[in-house]
Chains A and B, each alone.
Chain A
Amino acid sequence: MALSAERDDAELVRRILDGEGEHFETLVARYQTRLFRFISRFTNDAEDARDVTQEVFLKIYGALDSFDPRYRFSTWLFRIAGNAAIDHLRRRRGRTISLDLPPDEEGESRAIDPRDHRPDPLEDLSRRRLRQTIDEAIEKLPDDYRELISLRHYGELPYEEIAELKGMPLGTVKNKLFRARQALRDLLPPDAV
């Protein structure tokens, strides 16, 4: 992430703390998609991920005065999100997990609609299936691999920021991510990649 964006985040936080609360919406809009995708890797359910994402932003708002502007806002945000996602996983333990395809983002079933006007519904379906396969494979990864893949590919954090967040040397992060993807590849069908 560019340095200016980091400064911008810190500036937004400062202004919110000075009473310009409307800037919080800008911060949320800036990170919501990446955070939601990152959290989705843990919850594996769009509805739950939405709730946890909102919960994280509300937690962030409540603790905004404890943010240290010497560090990146995104690192702080993803650290809190990681903890919240793990808490959610703990709470979910024991709950029944359906083996059916989960509903899409609107809560609709994923049956093929014959009136679908998208260019190639069959291709779309096969991509959705592939995504499902990858999601399931990611879920089978060890926790540390899953977290790294989620941070890098779903949270879209640069390697440097992951290193900062996890307190690891940059080389270790790259190395572990390489191994995590290798482990993921081993879990996927040979024709997937």
Chain B
Amino acid sequence: MESPDPETMRLVSAADFERDRKLEVLLDEMVAISPLLPPDFAARVVSARPFAPWEVRRAWAWKAPLLAISGLLAASLAVFLAPLGQLAPGTSLAVWGELLAAALASPVSAVLEVAPALLAAADSLRAAVTPGAGLALLGVGTAFGAATIGLLRRRTVRATR
């Protein structure tokens, strides 16, 4: 271990101390004229900060998405219960049944309806493109899908801040 500070002080000359002091002053002056950060640096850092792991573990971080989900559930419940005020229970039940069937069946029937046309279109596309182009198309599709998912995730993260 090196000798403690007072010991060193005894060993060096007064002239050395004076030179050291001057260099300290010079260094401080040089620091004062060194480049600066842009004025909005702090704001930029704050906007660029990721969703930290410790934020995921804290309940308050989920306040916004929980509120949104609760709102949606409450609204759905209100829509679901609204017919009760206007109609008799039996009629309400029938209306709910019809609505539910329509909500579930309509998309399925729509898909079934367009499926042959979609398959035919895909088949003709496959016949038209070379294997390389097909792969490229698949790659573009995957990249587009990944980008969309990434964007949605980012939005969700921002919404939870």
By a beta-carbon cutoff of 8 Å, the part of chain A in contact with chain B is 17-19, 21-22, 24-25, 28-29, 32-33, 36-37, 40, 46, 49-50, 53-54, 57-58, 61-65, 104-105, 127-128, 130-131, 134, 149, 153-154, 156, 169-172, 174-176, 178, 181-182, 184-185, 192-193
User: Is the Cβ of A193 less than 8 Å from the Cβ of B22?
Assistant: yes
Q: Are A37 and B31 in contact (CB under 8 A)?
A: yes
Chain A at the B interface: mostly helix, strand, loop or mixed?
helix
Q: Roughly how many angstroms separate A36 CA and B36 CA in the complex, as a whole number?
A: 8
B20-A130 in contact (CB<8A) = no
Check A171 against B30 for contact (C-beta < 8 Å).
no
* Contact indicator B2/A134 (Cβ below 8 Å): no
- Residues in chain B within 8 A of chain A (CB atoms): 1-8, 12, 16, 19-20, 22-24, 26-31, 33-37, 41-46, 48-50, 52-54, 58, 60-61, 161
* One of A25, A54, A65 near B54 (C-beta < 8 A): A65
Interface residues of B, dominant DSSP: helix
Given contacts A28-B42, A54-B44, A153-B27, contact A40 B35 (CB under 8 A): yes
* A residues in contact with B37, CB < 8 Å: 32-33, 36, 50, 53, 105
Q: How far is the CB of A193 from chain B (nearest CB, A)?
A: 5
Given A24-B49, A134-B30, A169-B4, verify A185-B161 contact (CB < 8 Å): no
Chain B proximity of A175: nearest CB distance (Å):
5
Q: Is the CB of B4 within 8 A of A171?
A: yes
The answer to whether B42 touches A182, judged by C-beta atoms less than 8 angstroms apart, is no
Q: Which of A18, A19, A25, A156 contacts B46 (CB 8 A)?
A: A25
Are A40 and B27 neighbours in the complex by a CB distance under 8 Å? no
